[in-house]
Amino acid sequence: MNPQWKNFLLSEQAVIENDGRIVFAESQSDQPHIYPISDLAVLSVSGKDAAKLLQGQSTCNVFEVTETQARIGAFCNPKGRAIATFLLAKNADEYLLVLPQELLEPVKTRLQKYVLRSDVRFADRSNELCLLGLGWSETAVESLFAAHCVDGMVLISLGSTPYRTLVIAEPEQAENLWTDRLGQGYAPGNSEDWRLLDLLAGIPWLSQATSEEHVPQMLNLDKLGGISFTKGCYTGQEVVARTHYLGKAKRALFLAECALGTAPAANAAIRDRNGGEQSRGQVLTAISRDGICHLLAVLLVSESGEYDLVLKDHPDVSLRLLPLPIA
């Protein structure tokens, strides 16, 4: 985190936990909120060959990314398993990859292997740029991942449940935006609350534990516009294309909740209540709040459409599947 931004948040009565979470005193739930984001980071990719290199490594069509349109996507290994998911935005001649902090360095190292003699430069800009979230309950007027560049800031629409915007800004811009929004009636929000909103929106952020576990369709990236089936070759493309053209993927991403005060770990097994020990899937990510555990899970798709699921380690706790919002 940028030191200037960190000191500013501390001056705003933030508490920064040892694990990086940023916490404020509770505010009214009916207020719009502005959130500092602590679990994501920014990797810059620049140079005249940047788009070409990214196009050869990502599931999305990089040439569709402009200053007014961002994209979600994934980098895959040769077996078609997603190493990391990301949001890709463009600011002037620079591409900005927003991805989980813990996966930034592994992704950077892997991408650098493909540079060879290309004119491409990578930079971890996590200590230079700040990530903020704006959330309120108005109906969205922009499509998912629509983007704007305003005075050097990049704003990305994250849909309408509720209407949210991800902001990439330099420290002084972040401070000014924060102060301005608080003056308009916004309240500071906890970083973990923003992570929960991402989960409820079905954004499939990966971690070290879930990296290289799932093909992109299992993460619903096809439904989010994060896979191009016409762009040509990229690492893992053959497996991703085969999954698409041979029929629907056998597994998909589901949103669920259960009465559990402690969130299960990533990859925790999920099974049928009466199906013995055979696994039906696993947890991708989970957050517990006020005795309710919210989770994204990769599950075998039921042909009947019926599910009676429990966590393997909590066989008496039923999972309730919820509609997954797809903008």
pLDDT tens-digit profile of 188-222?
999 999 999 999 999 999 999 999 999 999 999 99
Only one residue has tokens 């398993």, namely 81
Average pLDDT estimate for 247-258: 89
Q: Which CATH number fits domain 1-200: 3.30.1360.120, 3.40.50.2300, 3.40.50.720, 3.20.20.80?
A: 3.30.1360.120
Exposed, middle or buried: residue 164 (CB in 10 Å: 0-12, 13-18, 19+)? buried
In tens, the pLDDT along 4-42 reads 999 999 999 999 999 999 999 876 677 899 999 999 999
Q: State phi, psi for 218 to the nearest 5 degrees.
A: -65, -15
DSSP code string of 283-307 = EEEEEEETTEEEEEEEEEPPSSS--
216-322: CATH topology is Elongation Factor Tu (Ef-tu); domain 3 (2.40.30)
CA distance 28 to 160: 20
Q: How many Cα atoms occupy the beta-carbon half-sphere of 34 within 13 Å?
A: 22
Start-end ranges of CATH 3.30.1360.120 in the chain?
Answer: 1-200
Question: Which DSSP category does 136 fall into?
Answer: -
